[in-house]
Amino acid sequence: MKAVFKWSGLVALGLALGGGLAVWQMQASGLGNDVRVGPWSTGRDIGTAHADMKTRAIVALRGLLALPAQEARYFTATTDSAGAPLSGKCSYALTGGAIEARWWSVTLYDRGGWLIPNRWHRHSIGSARIDADPATRWTVRIGPAEQPGLWVPTGTDGPFELTLRAYRPRGTMARDPARISLPSITRGECRP
């Protein structure tokens, strides 16, 4: 009987370790990590039958109902361009240019992938409000304090992440996303 308990305990330990590792990886990973552009990352096979088991599980947990790449590309950033984790206590300048897509937007989420309540009910900004002129550089402010112009509130003192959606990607964005240029994320002041 003692041996049965011993071996059952070992099996249970193995199951817990393996399952725990899988859940941790699903929670800690971005939507996809096979393409990196500055602080942004994405996967090539999101939403398709070609996705590997791990990618499919991560997308199910962190981006369920995501579309395949020919319809939309999803880039996530959990750090600024210098590699520091995005914090709701800090202000950031999101600066970019033309994005090759029919429409695009950048949305702010908590680290679980949920919108963070804020009194302005403002969570995203994108091509609907930003000049479509390819030669124009634009800057969006992200931070806890209200700012004039293009601004998205962090709504939290905790960590957050950004998702850039590019619907109906075109040109290099469609063919080879590793070669595109995406907005930089520059940290400004942080409140204590």
Task: Summarize as ranges the residues that interact with other proteins (CB under 8 A).
Answer: 6-7, 10-19, 21-23, 26, 47-49, 51, 53-54, 56-57, 59-68, 70-71, 102-103, 105, 107, 109, 112-118, 121, 123-124, 126, 128-129, 155, 163, 165, 167-168
Q: How far apart are CA 190 and CA 80, in angstroms?
A: 13
Which is closer to other proteins, CB of 70 or CB of 172? 70
Q: How far apart are CA 12 and CA 92, in angstroms?
A: 46
Minimum Å distance from CB 122 to other proteins? 8
Instruction: Identify whether the C-beta of residue 89 lies closer than 8 Å to the C-beta of residue 178.
Output: no
Minimum Å distance from CB 138 to other proteins? 16
Which is closer to other proteins, CB of 170 or CB of 191? 170
Which is closer to other proteins, CB of 21 or CB of 178? 21
Minimum Å distance from CB 32 to other proteins? 13
Which is closer to other proteins, CB of 100 or CB of 187? 100
Which is closer to other proteins, CB of 65 or CB of 135? 65
Minimum Å distance from CB 115 to other proteins? 4
Q: How far apart are CA 66 and CA 16, in angstroms?
A: 29
Place of tokens 């302005």: 120
CB neighbours (10 Å) of residue 30?
20
Our CA angle for 170, 112, 102, nearest 5°, is 15
Minimum Å distance from CB 23 to other proteins? 7
Task: Dig out the tokens for 110 from the structure.
Answer: 């908590």
Q: How far apart are CA 63 and CA 90, in angstroms?
A: 25
